Structure 1
Amino acid sequence: MVNQDFLDLWREEGLRQIPQNFEVFRSLVAQTRDFTEQGKYDVAAVYAKIAASYADFKHCGFFVSPELEHLLIEIGQKTITKKSYFNPSKFGSKTPENILHVATCMQYLGGHSRMLLRWIKQDTERSHSLVVTDEPREAIPKSLKEAVSNSGGHIYVLRETIGSLISWAKRLRQIAASVDLVVLHIFEYDVVPIIAFANKKASPPIIFSNFNDHNFWLGVGISDVVANLRESGKRHSEKHRGVETKRNALLPTILEPTQRILSRAEAKQQLGLPKNSILLLSIARAPKYKTIDGISYADAHVSLLEKYEQAFLIVVGSGYRKDWSNAIEQTQGRIIPYEQNPDTALFLQAADIYVDSFPFVSNTSLLEAGSYGLPLVSRYPYSSQACELLGADMLGLTGNLIRVSNLEEYVLVLSRLIEDEEFRLNLGEATRQKIIETHIGINWQRYLNDLYQLATVLPRLTEPLLTIDQMCLGEPNVFLPSIYGLDLNLEHLIRNNLKLMPFDQRLYHWFRLAKKTKLSNSTERLLWLKDLMPEWFIQRLKKFLGYYQNPEF
């Protein structure tokens, strides 16, 4: 599906985009530095967040910014007085009992949200509290609230209080005063924890959960241990983020034990499929099924489904896509897309073979499918191991995941799995057993206990030396704009962050951006007026209007 010629096009696009993105990022860092030097720390923090967001959405040729993190640490050290820090002598080599998880938000369909929930439910010997930096209490899933409460912990929502990024960082610092260890489950651009834990000598041990290992993120400069979910992520952290070997650890994704309620035939019947059908299944968010060079994810399966009339492909999460319509018609409707659905058990119980999303792999979905005893197939079109982070790998998948390099090999592998039932079932069972041995229950707990031990015995991370951000145009950097890049301009990011700015900056940018925008109706004008309101006020207004519904995993 993606041949060398098209990889060359991706490379050309990366060589064109990355230097441009890098220059924009440098200008944002320069503005952050200017505001910091002027003592305008609230504004500087917002500009730092915009810079990090830009580097996340528009790859700039690096995965960490020492310059930006240094500025955030400086902001934290100058705005959070040492008097507000607790006594570092309380932290020794003892086993931690009170864990504080810090998350940007708890998206109910996100893999990191599910991992946090399962982490708390599995680790029953400790108390777990949660701080959410960028989401209202009403948006936190009920199951997560119950898990925290049952562990003896508490939930804190920073944006419930009137304030700014700096004041919320101070609040986080105060909350952390009574805990033994902090775990960061934060999004790439979340500046609040970086500011909060700027004084490392008086901070609890900090673990960074690296669930977005393919992206730029903030946090290297304050994290005593980086917990990578997979081997490729661990190697990447050391090579591309500068994480010391002794601080670079593994913590596999945790899964819940699988409970098969239905037989395959019964599940297929509930989905309206023939009992003797062969069901190929894929589950991921819609952006992971990106059409490449005019060939959609559905198109890649047409020849296979034409060859095997009993074969069906269900894709959960893609939703309706216009560019799939021809493939659906060619296969007489045997390619069936579904919208995102947090409850995928019925599909997994019906499936015979699991096929990964493409070009953006979905490791968590692979693990969950494998836990049901499904053979797993994923595509890796890259010729270099330098791009290993762009492929699928997890500890529990090693030795059983089938990875193919091109579409022809993909069809051959799937053909064998369709034709050879014994091979299909044996591979699925081997996959299930390996996942149980690594990702479930007490087997996973051993990795967690080792991680806690490492974080408590290592000396606290010292403030890193300031180094200048460097752009890299090699692999995998050069491919990232085509795979993960978004068509997002800087003005859009600034507008999204207006509500976090002090009023004078908010008003300045509001007038500047409004002049460039044609407001054609009253609804658009009202939305623009909303941007003049501070973030804390917007959150309270949404709560009053019943905007949020309590989600469930």
Structure 2
Amino acid sequence: MEKIANNTLSLWREEGCHIIQKNFNVFRSLVKQAKDLAQQGKYDAAAAYADVAALYATLQHSGLFVSLELEQVLLKIGTEAIQSSFDRTKNTSLQKTPKNVLHVATSVKGIGGHSRMIWRWIQQDTQRSHSVVLTRQEPLKVPRMLTDVVTNSHGSVCVLNNTIGSLVSWAKRLREIAASADVVVLHTLCDDVIPSIAFANEEQSPPIVFVNHADQYFWLGASISNVVANLRKSGMTLSKERRGVEAERNLLLPIILNPTHRTLSRTEAKRQLGLDESNILILSIARSVKYRTINESSFADVHIPVLKQYDRAILIVIGPGNSEDWSSAIEQTQGRIRVFQEREDTAVFLQAADIYVDSFPMPSTTSLLEAGSYDLPLVSRFPYSDASDILSADAPGMDDNLIRVRNLEQYTEVLSRLIEDEKFRLSLGEATKKCIAQMHTGDGWQHLLEDIYTRAANTPRPKLNLTAAVMDTMFLSEPDVLLPRVFSQKDIGVGELIQSRLRLMPFTQRLHIWSELIKKHGFGQVSLLLPEWFYLRYYSRLREMRL
């Protein structure tokens, strides 16, 4: 039976109530610090503490999916700290079809659905020029795939935190870059404060589309967005009910995928992987965090019954690497569970697979869609109530064919049928592929995008009074009470988060906090005293020298 039984869920709900109340109080204290610093005119420090508050609410669910209090602080910083005479209403191009699109992301990588969505968007939307601004790119090179598609569209890529400055000065630079754009698309991470500061003044901002790619988390940006582009219906519902996004601003835009073309038959792909053509390959691909062990039952453990029953079945999981100890399950199945690190070259695995199973406890929608595009039947576990739909896997074009099971008994039964019934397996995979292609590729997706652009240009953003007293309300119902156990990896202290953002703070504050670390622990990393822009430049050069 499913390890997450009713009594366990009841315990999680009870624990969740206590955890959320504690987290909410910590979050409110961080927001107050940011608010106090902003009122004192210490805008860089206020922005850094706002970033810490948002990061805390993202990692330690606090009964909130949006904070009007925190958004109010950021709008105050943006209107008071950045002076500009530019009047956006003088730009007549706003009334026309947008030609210049500015995508803003926090950082991008070569793997992950979030990054791939950006360059696939640009690749598909060929009638426009696309530029990209990365607000806080990690010390990694920008993927070549992104730079190539941007160049081909006659756009440019700018990395803000590689230039001398602070959160506020980078926000000012973003506002200046956006002055020539007809529309801005935000792909930012949940805690990124830079866009909210940059676009605090609606008259000096282009229309803004917020891509809700992390819909199960708290995020910033609701108050500066003309429209919210939700990637799935459950996210769209949550945007309405918990983020206050009005119907005219609350839109649906499926995840964009490249059209899929097989280069290998299933038999040929299996041969390349060293498998026999008679093997039934069960595949799963996601980031390692999405395979976290729950109640001492790992992702590998739940497949032991099926693999023991069918000798020709093999499970391959790409993503966890060595992050989880699956040695017992591997031994019990005579090595028919194979685990790989995160990797970009997954096409051969997808073409070899017969069945695709979703990651757990965190679903991976993009991975499901990509697998379905290779005519694979899709299976996902969802042991929660309908009130927690945001914890499930869902997407336009996939919902009608995705097999969603409530417990492990159903999961084993479904996998058994898919292994035994080849006709059912193949027909379901083919139907899945057809529906996904209609909604997530080509003209079907482009039509939805055109509506997003039009609605953004003609829909005003919400008005948030910067002087009115605003107070956030904590929720202690589902899905909130389950999130601390399902998505939170560990109890992260405020001190740890402040230390992770130390390089964003003004030097005097950096030095003070660093000194406190030495008093408390007897040591402190000297590199924490370096501003982020300097650290990234130094790190990048050192990395290049090593390579």
Match of 2:425 in 1: 424
Quick check: 297-306 or 128-137, which moved more?
Answer: 128-137
Sequence identity of aligned pairs in percent?
A: 54
CA distance in 2, matches of 1:86, 1:303: 62
Number of the residue aligned with 1:472 = 475
* Residue 279 of structure 1, CA deviation: 0.7
8 Å Cα contact 1:58/1:485 also seen in 2: yes
C-alpha distance in 2 between matches for 1:147 and 1:306: 46
Shift of 1:139: 1.7
8 Å CA contact 2:86–2:204 kept in 1: the answer is no
Judge conservation of contact 1:205–1:456 (CA < 8 Å) in 2. Answer: yes
Q: Residues 225 and 248 of structure 1 are in contact (CA less than 8 Å); yes or no, is this contact kept in structure 2?
A: yes
Contact 2:227 2:461 in 1 (8 A): no
SS in 2 for 1:545: helix
8 Å CA contact 2:94–2:182 kept in 1: the answer is: no
Distance 1:136 1:52 in 2: 18
Corresponding position of 1:538 = 535
Say if 1:136 and 1:159, in contact at 8 Å, map to a contact too.
no
Secondary structure class of the residue paired with 2:229: strand
- Deviations for 1:80-131, whole angstroms, at most 9, x for unmatched residues? 1142554445354311000001000012212111000000011000000111
Q: Paired residue for 1:183?
A: 185
Is the contact between residue 36 and residue 75 of structure 1 (CA under 8 Å) also seen in structure 2? yes
Give the C-alpha shift of residue 461 in structure 1.
3.8
Kept in 1, the 8 Å contact 2:89–2:203? The answer is no
* Residue of 135, 146, 162 corresponding to 2:148: 146
Deviation readout 1:272-297 (Å, 9 max, x if unpaired): 11210111000011111111111111
SS of residue matched to 1:207: strand
Change in CA separation of 1:313 and 1:178 when aligned onto 2, cut-off 3 Å: same
Aligned-pair distance for 1:514? 2.0
1:518 CA displacement:
4.5
Aligned with 1:495 (options 489, 496, 499): 499
Q: Equivalent residue of 1:478, what SS?
A: helix
Query: Which whole-Å CA distance do the structure 2 matches of 1:31 and 1:56 have between them?
Result: 18
Choose which of 63, 68, 71 in structure 1 pairs with 2:70.
68
Q: What secondary structure does 2:52 align onto?
A: helix
User: Residues of 2 paired with 1:137 and 1:381: CA distance?
Assistant: 38
Which letter does structure 1 place at the counterpart of 2:449?
L
Structure 2 gaps, min length 5: none
1:195 to 190, 193, 197: 197
- After superposition, the C-alpha distances for 1:391-430 in whole angstroms (9 at most, x for unaligned) are 0100010210000000000000111111110000000000
Work out whether 1:56 is the aligned partner of 2:58: yes
- Please name the residue that 1:348 is paired with: 350
Residues 475 and 136 of structure 1, relative CA distance in 2, 3 Å threshold: closer
User: 1:441-476 CA distances to partner (integer Å, 9 max, x unpaired)?
Assistant: 111111111111111122344335753111101000
2:457 alignment counterpart: 456
SS at match of 2:529: coil
Matching residue's letter, 1:423: F
Structure 1 residues 287 and 399: CA distance shift in structure 2, 3 A: same
Tell me if the contact between 1:84 and 1:174 (Cα under 8 Å) persists in the aligned partners: no
* Aligned partner of residue 323 in structure 1, secondary structure: coil
Q: Secondary structure at the match of 2:179?
A: helix
Q: Which moved more, 1:394-403 or 1:480-489?
A: 480-489
- Contact 1:107–1:113 at 8 Å: present in 2 too? yes
- Cα deviations across residues 182-202 of structure 1 (Å, max 9, x unaligned)? 000000110000000000133
2:153 corresponds to which letter in structure 1? S
Shift of 1:155: 1.1
| 2:268 maps to 1:271 | no
1:515 equivalent to 2:511? Answer no
CA–CA distance in structure 2, aligned partners of residues 387 and 45 of structure 1? 32
- Residue 177 of structure 1 and its aligned partner are, at CA, apart by 0.7
Contact kept in structure 2, 1:139 and 1:549, CA below 8 Å: no
Mapped to 1, the partners of 2:323 and 2:499 lie a distance apart of 29
Q: Per the alignment, in what secondary structure is the counterpart of residue 221 of structure 1?
A: helix
Shift of 1:543: 2.8
Normalised by the size of structure 2, how large is the TM-score? 0.96
CA distance in 1 between partners of 2:90 and 2:483 (Å): 41
Provide the rounded CA distance (Å) in 1 between the counterparts of 2:212 and 2:418: 34
Contact 2:223 2:461 in 1 (8 A): no
Cα distance in 2 between the residues matched to 1:138 and 1:320: 22
Q: Deviations over 1:170-190 (max 9, x none)?
A: 000100111100000000110
CA distance in 1, matches of 2:399, 2:364: 15
The equivalent of 1:208 in structure 2 is: 210
2:512 aligned counterpart, secondary structure: helix
1:297 and 1:138 map into 2 onto residues whose CA distance is 30
CA–CA separation in structure 1 for the residues paired with 2:9 and 2:536: 44
CA distance in 2 between counterparts of 1:41 and 1:445 reads: 40
Partner of 1:522: none
Deviations 1:501-538 (A, max 9, x none): 1111001000001222244xxxxx6xx00111111111
Whether the 8 Å CA contact 1:132–1:156 is kept in 2: the answer is yes
Amino acid at match of 2:427: N
Contact 2:380/2:402 (8 A) holds in 1: yes
On the 8 A contact 2:304/2:332 being kept in 1, the answer is yes
- 1:452 maps to a residue whose letter is Y
* Counterpart Cα distance in 2 of 1:268 and 1:182: 43
> Which residue of structure 2 lines up, in the alignment, with residue 483 of structure 1?
486
In the alignment, the residues of structure 1 paired with residue 9 and residue 348 of structure 2 have an alpha-carbon distance, to the nearest angstrom, of: 37
Amino acid at match of 2:171: A
Give 1:390 shift.
Answer: 0.2
Instruction: Provide closer, same or farther for how the CA distance between residues 45 and 547 of structure 1 changes in structure 2, counting only shifts above 3 A.
Output: farther
Contact 1:542 1:548 in 2 (8 A): no
Letter in 2 for 1:27: S
* Amino acid across the alignment from 2:319: G
Contact map agreement 1:236 1:389 (CA 8 A) in 2: yes
The answer to whether the 8 A contact 1:169-1:193 is kept is: yes
Q: What amino acid is aligned across from residue 503 of structure 1 in structure 2?
A: F
Gaps spanning 5+ residues in structure 1: where? 520-524
Q: Distance in 2 between matches of 1:73 and 1:137?
A: 29
CA RMSD, 1 decimal: 1.6
- Please show how residues 138-177 of structure 1 align to structure 2 within 5 Å: 139-177=141-179
Post-superposition offset of 1:13: 1.9
Preserved CA contact (<8 Å) 2:365 2:394: yes
Counterpart residue type for residue 507 of structure 2? F
Matched, 1:397 2:392: no
Secondary structure of the equivalent of 1:531? helix
Q: CA deviation at 1:154?
A: 1.1
- Corresponding residue SS for 1:209: strand
> Scaled by the length of structure 1, what TM-score is found?
0.95
Asked if the contact 2:64–2:473 (Cα under 8 Å) also holds between the matched residues in 1, the reply is yes
**Structure 2 match to 1:285:** 287
Would the aligned equivalents of 1:306 and 1:331 in 2 still touch at CA under 8 Å?
yes
User: In the aligned structure 2, how far is the partner of 1:350 from the partner of 1:44?
Assistant: 52
1:480 partner letter: L
